[in-house]
Structures are given as structure tokens and as C-alpha cells.
Chain A
Amino acid sequence: MAKSFLRRFTYFERVVHWVVGVTFVLLLLTGLAFAYPSLFWLTTFLGGGSAARVLHPQIGAVFGVGLLLMFGLWVRDMFLDSQDRQWLGAIKHYAAHERDKVPPAGKYNAGQKLFFWVQSLLGIVFVASGLLLWFPEGFGPGLLNSMRLLHYLATLGGGLFLIVHVYLGTIAYPGTARGMIDGKVTPEWARLHHPRWTGERVER
């Protein structure tokens, strides 16, 4: 008998996710190169310092568009309800894998929802400050220097988020990453992580 799965993400959602993911990693690598002289060699991934300076903001523009699409696709599901608030109160147990003490999550748990909102906010900071740094002519030094600081602080937040996101999505919770690869998850996985979510069933 064919095993059945649940559809977690559509093709379009997956494409948008990976556009944002790949551009963000490229941006992070070159951004770190600009922030830390000892990491300047990372510009090599985009063809050296001058090329990285040209490409970083262009890739940033793609990243911005991807993020906007992502926002539009997912914002509906991202508002916290009362069970989400209880979930946040039990986040200790979630991290300790004490399932019986964690209130059931819907399609997204409260952590993912907050992740979404913070990431959207960081995206605005990235794009706004990045635009000024991309075309600095005509802006005063005080403003531009502050934008550099802001752009870095967003990088710090975004970089730490990436570490958590990749860790949880891969080795911490096996079966999760597949939702972003061919878009399917097993019913067992869904029952464990998102008991309140009733996804569309698909056959193999």
C-alpha cells in the first residue's frame, strides 16, 4: 500500500523560501567579509572585493522581493492565538523534548510565528539601511554611519536566527526539512510537531 503524506508547502512557497535562503547566505558571507577584515577572503565567493561590493546590494534586492512574497504568502497563518501564548510559556519543555507538557501547535508553533515577525522586521531594516548604503551619494555622513550600525545589528539578529533555524529544521527535528524540499511531511511528524494542523493528504 502506498504511504500517504501531508502537503506542508506548495512548490511556489518552496521556491520563495529557497530564494530567500540562498540570497541570505550569500549576503551573510559577503556582509561578514565587509564587517570583519579577517573574513575579507569570503568576498572570493562572489568574485573578490569589488565584485562583492557590486553584487551584495543586487542580491539584497532579490532577497527583499523574496521576503515580501514570503510575507504575503504566510502572514495569514502567523497571528498568535491563546494556545500559542501557552506554548510560549512551556517553551522550556519544548526544548527539553517533554511533549506531554507542551500545548499543541497549529500549522506553525508560536516560536515559528515570532520568528516570522522578527524576520520581517529585520528584513525592513536590512532593505532600508541597505538602500542608503547602496546609493550613498547625497546623504550625510551621520546618517550613513548610523545605517552601517543598523545594518550590522540586523545582520547579528539575522545570523543568529539562521543558526537556530537551520539547527531546528535539520538535525534537531528529523523529517522537518523534507517539508521544504519536496513539500511533504509524514502524518506521524505532523502529529508530533503540529497536532492541531490538518494538512491536505497526498499519496506518494
Chain B
Amino acid sequence: MSDTLSIKRISASPSALIPLESLRSGGPVYSKLVDISKCIGCKGCEVACKEWNDLKVEQTSNFGSMQSHQDLSSNTWLLMRFNEVEDGDDLHWLIKKDACLHCEEPGCLFACPAPGAIVQYQNGIVDFNQENCIGCQYCVSGCPFDIPRFDKQTKTVAKCNMCIDRVEAGLEPACVKTCPTNAIEWGIKDDMLAQAEKKVETLRKRGYDHAAVYNPGGVGGTHMMYVVPHGDRLNDYSLPAHPVASPGPLRGLNVFQRIGSYLFGAGVISALAHFLAVGPESPEDHA
């Protein structure tokens, strides 16, 4: 059981660059699988998430949609987005289960400057440790899926933790447990991938020619995968087509920070070298 909580990466530490997996192996790697075609929009998963994780209830309002909240928040880690798409006379709800995807290469963790504020486990879960969080919100702009949310009161950032306390105890996450149609499944990632392929095949037979698995390679795959009936319309699901873990500016930042550390050293050394070469120059020298 302890294998499920072996650490893979810790933010702002060497393991953020070189994952620790080479040191340990063999533990189970999990994934959620969300089959959007089976979702009936009941939002039971949202309630289960709030209950299990003891998240504060927020006042909601009718904004002309079936959607419960307008957006995720530090107290709403899961939101079924009811994307409305018109197709001639038809109206489609392209529902998206909006929550952390638990990326294999987590942009949030790479962007984080606080040691130990974000931890990735061998089992695939990416978890925020609020006691180490300094509230800079770099993870928010590091995440390609716009998931982490800042809490103004606690000055820390929060998101779905995949019910890590349940997983640790050998249980499935609360949303999986509660879903009445099995639209959310939980298991070993490889099994879930095989399952997803089968679902895609079935959907294609039913006439969804563009049905696809969403497990984007730009973030090394995710530990919450989707089966999307309209794989050619990821945009309408508000799923980014090409998410990347480390976008250009942050890759540049890494390079310059490395160069910079040498330049700072070189600056000090040059000053000392100059001093030793020509020494101080005071008015008396020219008297």
C-alpha cells in the first residue's frame, strides 16, 4: 500500500527536473476515465466532491445555464461545464468534467517556486500542500488547463487532489464512487486506456466518426482521461487541443536562470580580479 504514495516529483527541488521514478518502481499507476457520452448531467459527482473533501458551499445563481457554478474556485474543485453548442436546429450539451487532469508532466509543479508545495506521486496524483504554498499563483499560469484557484482568505491555491486520502486507503475517488451511470471510471491507467479505446470503437460504430480519447501527449498524458464523442471539436468542450507542460516563456526562464547564476558569479569574480590587477585608485596616488 505504501507504494501508492511513493513520491515522484517535488516542486522547486531537483526531482522537479529528474523524476524520482528511477529509484522506485512497481507501484500501481492509476487514471480516471470520463466517458462524456454516458454523462446524464446529474452533478452527483460535484456533490460527492464537496462532501468528501469538506469544501465550503458557495452561493450560486441562475445565469441561464444548467451549469451549477460559473467557475471553479478554491472551494469548488469539480465543475460539470455544460457547453452549449448549436448544430442547425439542434442544441448539444458538450459536457466537460472540469477538474485537475493530474498531468504526467504537471505544468503547475514545474512553475512552482516553493519547495514541497506541489507533490506528484508515483501513482499519478498531483497534490498541492497548502502548508508549503506561498500564494504566488505561478501554478495558475503554469497549468495549461486553467485549474488551480487562489483562495484570498488563506492566500494559498487549491484544486482537486484525486481524493488522495481515499486512494491511499485503496478506494476510488468520491466522484467515481457516486456516478450513477459509470461515466467516471477508475483503475490502472493501462486498463483504462484499453477501456477507452473500446469505448471509442463503439462510439464510432454508433456514428460518432470523430470519437477520440483525450490523453494529450504535450503534458505526457493525464491521469484523468476523457472519451469525447466529437473528437474534432475539442474547442467546444473547452479542452485545449495542444496543451504543453512548459510553455515557451517558462522554458526561456529556465535557460536564463541557469545562465544568470553563472553571470552573477562571473560579476563578483571580475570585480575581485580587477581589484587585484590594478588595486584601488585614490587621490593620493596622483598627488
Q: Which residues of B contact A (CB under 8 A)?
A: 12-13, 16, 111, 113-115, 132-138, 140-144, 146, 150, 155, 247-250, 252-253, 256-257, 260-261, 263-264, 267-268, 271, 274-275, 278, 280-287
Contact = CB atoms under 8 A, between A and B. Distances in A.
Given A95-B274, A163-B271, A191-B283, A145 B247 contact: yes
B263 A148 contact: no
A188 interface: yes
Nearest to A167: B271
Contacts of B286: 99, 192
Nearest to B267: A163
A145 B263 contact: no
Interface centre among B113, B263, B268 (most CB of A within 10 A): B113
A37 interface: yes
Contacts of B115: 37, 40
Contacts of B278: 95-97
B247 A142 contact: yes
A175 interface: yes
A154 to B, nearest CB: 11
B283 to A, nearest CB: 4
A54 to B, nearest CB: 8
Interface string A121-155: 00000000000010011001110111011001101
Size class of the contact patch on chain A:
35 or more
Given A53-B134, A97-B281, A164 B267 contact: yes
26 contacts: A36-B257, A37-B13, A53-B134, A53-B135, A53-B136, A97-B285, A133-B136, A140-B141, A141-B142, A141-B247, A145-B247, A145-B249, A148-B141, A148-B253, A149-B250, A149-B253, A156-B256, A159-B260, A160-B263, A163-B264, A163-B268, A164-B271, A171-B280, A175-B283, A189-B282, A192-B282
B217 to A, nearest CB: 20
Given A141-B141, A156-B263, A172-B275, A148 B150 contact: no
Contact of B264 (A136, A146, A159): A159
A136 B282 CA distance: 49
The 8 closest A-B pairs by CB, nearest first: A188-B283, A37-B12, A141-B141, A49-B134, A145-B249, A144-B141, A167-B271, A163-B267
B250 A174 contact: no
A67 interface: no
B278 to A, nearest CB: 5
Contacts of B142: 141, 145
B19 to A, nearest CB: 16
Given A53-B136, A145-B249, A156-B263, 7 more contacts: A34-B113, A50-B155, A52-B134, A137-B137, A142-B247, A145-B141, A152-B256
